[in-house]
Structure 1
Amino acid sequence: MHPPIIRIKTFTVLSGLLMTVLLAIALSACKQESNNGKKIADIPIGLYASLTGAEASYGVDSLHAIQLAVDEINSHGGLLGGHQIQLIVRDNQSKAGESSLIARELIHRNHVIALLGEVAGGRSLEAAPIAQKAEVPMISSSTVARVTQIGNYIFRTAFIDEFQGKVMAKFMRSLGIRRVAILSDTSTDYSIGLAKSFAHEFVTGGGQIIAQQSFSEGDKDFNAQLTALKAANPEAIFLPTYYTYAGAIISQARQIGLNAPFTGADGFDSRGLLKIGGKAVEGVYFVSHFTSDNQNPTVQNFVKAYSQKYGDLPSSLAALAYDSMKLLADAIERAKSVETTKIQAALENTKNFPGVTGTITFDENRNPQKSAVIIRVQNGKFTYLETVSL
């Protein structure tokens, strides 16, 4: 059984037959251009995210940011001359296999004109082929390179793993670190790609990878791997994984006396890391897409609006999600249409879009070219350290 559809604009629940009839009417209108003064229906956009389960922090942050963007757009008159965005949200529960089912339902039953999601590379890779086949634009927040390689309807707001792996290697060399160990998750494209990119860049720059260990999704006891890494005596450990594992692994490392600094990538960027790891994650460094310390007016307006609405500072994944909705809205306006082929063309021609994660121009693979920031955990908080470009 699939989780219920959450309609952000309206919470009215319609029975089966009535819903079918009304959807048919609405979608028929939605696919027509506005002419002779006739209105088109609200514009349906689908979001699939991990709202529950292991990576719920990512999905909730994304939903909050996208909802904020939708509210801002709708309150300022909507799109295409006054048509409101109808955001249809589905929870993939952080489970493998759910995103492909959800993507099919959003596209073929709800007839969304675009998909937003997902943070996790594996779940983006589930949905992307379905969106590509249906010629429905999808904007992902995943850093896994293969996502946009699926086809020309797939875009992203995040930089790719190859880039952030290189950024962390460059940063660690700048600290004078030369002997590094890697602990990676062999069950995710995200971790595999990051480990490979980091290792290549670090060794090319004169560093050494003196030990490598691995784990798989579902593992809870990392004592054997950490003991082996401790014996190798590295100057630092690169841990390309999500915050759920990072917090637990670093805590276990400290318990056995492995005190080398840990570094990671954007998967660390969740306050869940602080909750799970506590004092053990103090001093951790990671690469990210965004910092709320950026004094750019566009960034500060977003930070203020997000904080006022949700009582917390936005994470980098919230910022990426916010950019995805604003970027899509900009493309729809430039396309002057809800036709998916026209929206795709407008997205592909995006140049110098002023996002909160940076100025976005898509390359030939529909990836944005941006700088990255280095964040350090200091006094129990995420602290901006520096901006790194290659």
Structure 2
Amino acid sequence: MRNSLKKVYLLISVLMVVMLAACGEDNTNTSNASENSGGPVSAKIGVISYMTGPGAAYGEAITNGFNLALDEINEKGDVKIELVIEDSAGKQDQAMTVAQKLMSSDDIVALLGPTLSTEMNVVGPEADINGIPIMGTSTTAAGIPQIGEYVFRNSIPESLAIPAALEKAVNKYGVKKVAILYGNDDLFTQSGFDTMKAEAEKMGLEIVTIETFQKGQSDYNAQLTKIKDLQPDLILASALYNEGAVIMDQARKMGIDLPFVGGNGFNSPQVIEIAGEASDGLIVATPWFGEKDDPKVQEFVKKYESAYGHKPDQFAAQAYDALYIMAEGLKNAGEADRDALRDALAEIKDLDGILGKFSFDEDGDVIMEPTVLIIKDGAFQQFE
């Protein structure tokens, strides 16, 4: 009798397994049918942003750009996106911690950020190993997209921006001699220096001195005195806006009225806010110019100013376009799948954004022409 009961229980168990498998199969088929029925793809995207600390203005601008694009994208309804935002505080270890937290969630299909190249240098390889697409919107140091096939960026690298700015400055002012000043404890500013030095040598310019500083430094008297004594025609400065603005302020107070060519981190309205009139003469190259006579640009500026009370900068604009790039990738992938999204992103060509026509090259790097700007009369203007 006991054996008979065992057989009955075994038969019931087998039947239940079959029924559950059938139910699971039906649910999967229903889910796939729903996903492929023409309805919008829904996806969660993780954001790693520099929200607190001395460079928080970068993170604020970036997340503002994301949120403005998010409202528009979701309203259009082609895809539905939810952002999960984490603060890195501009630190490698914190960026890695929050990145791992985001990547461990199967619901997160991609990452945007982190803000600094130093952060991407540790987060990018981790994302690539985990097979999750990651796009830097402000990471401009050399070698970022080459980290791996899942790593992208839509920010113009220093290797494109600095040569464009330097060439215009040299032609405008007849530059023969330059001094270089850079932050030697940050991957981003070091990369900018490498590009500045290589480009100056390529153009046959005399480099009269190379001076260094560190994050948070407040006194640049020694470096600037040496530069002043050597009488260059131009100063090349690879700095984040905090240090860069102070450098320009102290330079002007010492009577150094030379033009500056800055790297990408120098390209922020915060430079004007901190240094005031002393920021006049800063030359930078950027894909973003808020005064551009383009309806898309002016509409974005109007919406941004209405939402946040001030004009957008390059970092807000790049973030805004980046989310639209992600949305295009999701739409073309047709599903919230990491591998499918990665492949769809790699195929994007000539996407029309507020920064212009955008494409990725074979490495996942940006293809776009920069615009050269100069700060004059307390505002960024096109440098002619």
Cα distance in 1 between the residues matched to 2:32 and 2:117: 34
Partner of 2:113: 117
The alignment's TM-score, normalised by the length of structure 2, stands at 0.87
Mapping 1:293-312, distance limit 5 Å: 293-312=291-310
Cα distance in 2 between the residues matched to 1:182 and 1:300: 36
Bigger Cα displacement from structure 2, 224-233 vs 214-223: 214-223
Aligned CA distance change for structure 1 residues 190 and 32 (closer, same or farther; 3 Å): farther
Mapping 1:135-146, distance limit 5 Å: 135-141=131-137, 142-146=139-143
Partner of 1:96: 92
The alignment's TM-score, normalised by the length of structure 1, stands at 0.85
1:132 aligned partner, one-letter code: D
Contact conserved, 2:241 with 2:271, CA < 8 A, in 1? yes
1:60 aligned partner, one-letter code: E
Partner of 2:378: 380
Cα distance in 2 between the residues matched to 1:114 and 1:36: 20
Q: CA deviation at 1:255?
A: 2.5
Mapping 1:207-286, distance limit 5 Å: 207-286=205-284
Mapping 1:1-390, distance limit 5 Å: 34-35=34-35, 42-77=42-77, 79=79, 84-109=80-105, 111-141=107-137, 142-175=139-172, 176-386=174-384
Q: List, as ranges, runs of 4+ consecutive aligned residues in structure 1 with deviation greater than 3 Å.
A: 31-42
Contact conserved, 2:326 with 2:345, CA < 8 A, in 1? yes
Per-residue CA deviation, residues 82-125 of structure 1 (Å, 9 max, x unaligned), is xx311111111222321111110011047411111133111122
Contact conserved, 1:247 with 1:277, CA < 8 A, in 2? yes
Contact conserved, 2:46 with 2:85, CA < 8 A, in 1? yes
User: Root-mean-square deviation (CA), in Å?
Assistant: 2.2
Cα distance in 2 between the residues matched to 1:53 and 1:365: 32
**Where does structure 2 lack aligned partners over 5 or more consecutive residues?**
1-27
Task: State the structure with more CA Rg.
Answer: 2
Contact conserved, 2:162 with 2:284, CA < 8 A, in 1? no
**Where does structure 1 lack aligned partners over 5 or more consecutive residues?**
1-27
Aligned CA distance change for structure 1 residues 40 and 34 (closer, same or farther; 3 Å): farther
Aligned CA distance change for structure 1 residues 111 and 129 (closer, same or farther; 3 Å): farther
Q: CA deviation at 1:256?
A: 2.5
Contact conserved, 1:164 with 1:194, CA < 8 A, in 2? no
Aligned CA distance change for structure 1 residues 285 and 338 (closer, same or farther; 3 Å): same
Aligned residues: 354
Cα distance in 2 between the residues matched to 1:257 and 1:307: 36
Per-residue CA deviation, residues 29-55 of structure 1 (Å, 9 max, x unaligned), is 9x9673597989952111111111111
Bigger Cα displacement from structure 2, 223-232 vs 103-112: 103-112
Per-residue CA deviation, residues 343-375 of structure 1 (Å, 9 max, x unaligned), is 000000111111211211111111111111122
Contact conserved, 1:265 with 1:288, CA < 8 A, in 2? no
